[in-house]
Chains A and B, each alone.
Chain A
Amino acid sequence: MRIGVVRFPGSCDEADAIAAASAVAEAELLWHGRTDLDGVDAVVVPGGFSYGDYLRPGAIARYSPVMTAVAAFAADGGPVLGICNGFQVLCEAGLLPGALLPNNSLRFICRQVDLTVERTTTPWTAACEAGEQLSIPSKHANGRWYADDQTLAQIEANGQVVFRYAPGQNPNGSLADIAGVCSEQGNVVGLMPHPEHAVDLLTGSADGLKLFASVLEEGASVPIS
C-alpha cells in the first residue's frame, strides 16, 4: 500500500505525516499543484498553515489543483484523512460537514488531549475499539468545530462523529466536544488533533499509529516501536 501526503505552500506537518505513514506502508509527498494522485491507495491532507491561513484556514488551499483529484478519489470511496489544517481544508471543500472557527479562548492551544473513539467503521479507525481513548497532541488556533443545529443532529444520527474530546478536555469550544467527523460514506475523516505526532512512546504516546495502521488493513495490529 502507498499513502500520499499532500503538501501545500505553508504545510508544516507533512514530514511527520510521511514518517507516521511510513511506519505502516510506503509514503510519498504529493505537491499541491499536481492534478493526479500518482495512484496512491490513501491520502493524508496534513497540518500547517496552507496559504498562510489567509482569508480563512483552508479557504484557498481547497482550490489547489490536487484537491480536484482528492475530491474524485473521495467520491470513489478512497480513504482520505485530514489532520488539523487538512481537516479545515476538507471542510472548506465540502468533503466533510461543518466548519472550524477560532478557538473560544482566541489562543493558540498546544496540549496533549484524550480522544474517545466514537466510530470504528472508517478506514482510519478500524484498528481502534469503540469507546477507546487515544492520547494525541492538539495544537491549533482555529479548531472550534461548528455546524448548525440541523447539520449537527444529522451527523449525530448518521454516526458521523468519529472522535470526541474526553469529558472536560475540549480545548477550543467545539460543539458537542467533537474533535473529528467523517463523510456520509465514512471514507473521509478529519480531526483537529495530530495522530502523526503520536507515533513513538519516546514522545509520550504512540496511539496515533492506530489511525495509520487502520488504513493498512481493517483491524490490523499496531506496530509499536
Chain B
Amino acid sequence: MKARILIRPKQGILDPQGQTVERALPALGFSGISEVSVGRLVELEVDEPAQLEDLCERLLANPLIEDFEIQLPEG
C-alpha cells in the first residue's frame, strides 16, 4: 500500500525556512497567514506498514528535532 510520512520541525525550534516564507507573503499581496512551517513529505509503497514507525525513528526523521506522522490509506 501507499504510505505518506509527514516530517515537521518540532514545535519551539526556530524554523528559519518557515519564517522566510512567511516574510515573503505580504509582498505578494497575501495577508492573514501566519505560523508558516516547512517540513518534508516522504511517499512510499510498503507491504508491512507496522515497520514504518521504526523506519521513521531510525532514518526518516531525527526525533531530537523533528516530529513525524504516518498516513495510511483508510479502510
Is the CB of A76 closer than 8 A to any CB of chain B? no
Find out whether the CB atom of A56 lies under 8 angstroms from the CB atom of B62: yes
Is the CB of A106 closer than 8 A to any CB of chain B? yes
Is the CB of B44 closer than 8 A to any CB of chain A? no
State the Cβ distance, B14 to closest chain A Cβ, in Å. 6
State the Cβ distance, B37 to closest chain A Cβ, in Å. 13
Is the CB of A177 closer than 8 A to any CB of chain B? no
Q: Main SS of chain A's interface residues?
A: loop
Find out whether the CB atom of A99 lies under 8 angstroms from the CB atom of B62: yes
Find out whether the CB atom of B17 lies under 8 angstroms from the CB atom of A106: yes
Q: A92-B62, A99-B65, A148-B64 are in contact. Are A173 and B17 (CB under 8 A)?
A: no
Find out whether the CB atom of A146 lies under 8 angstroms from the CB atom of B16: no
Interface size on A, residues (CB 8 A): 19
Alpha-carbon distance between A122 and B65 when the two chains are bound, in angstroms: 27
Is the CB of B59 closer than 8 A to any CB of chain A? yes
List B contacts of A104 (CB < 8 A): 14, 16
> Which of B17, B59, B60, B62 lies in contact with A102, CB distance below 8 A?
B17
List B contacts of A98 (CB < 8 A): 64
Residue of A nearest to B12 (CB): A148
List B contacts of A92 (CB < 8 A): 62
8 A Cβ contacts from A105-143 to B = 105-106
8 A Cβ contacts from A41-59 to B = 55-56, 59
Is the CB of B24 closer than 8 A to any CB of chain A? no
8 A Cβ contacts from B42-61 to A = 59-60
Q: A55-B59, A55-B60, A59-B59 are in contact. Are A101 and B65 (CB under 8 A)?
A: yes
Is the CB of A72 closer than 8 A to any CB of chain B? no
**Residues of A at under 8 Å CB distance from B?**
55-56, 59-60, 63, 92, 98-99, 101-106, 144, 146-148, 173
What are 28 A-B residue pairs whose CB atoms fall within 8 Å in the complex?
A55-B59, A55-B60, A56-B62, A59-B59, A59-B62, A60-B59, A63-B59, A92-B62, A98-B64, A99-B62, A99-B64, A99-B65, A101-B14, A101-B65, A102-B16, A102-B17, A103-B16, A104-B14, A104-B16, A105-B16, A106-B16, A106-B20, A144-B14, A146-B13, A146-B64, A146-B65, A148-B64, A173-B14
Known pairs A59-B59, A103-B16 / 5 extra A-B pairs, C-beta < 8 Å: A55-B60, A60-B59, A98-B64, A102-B17, A106-B16
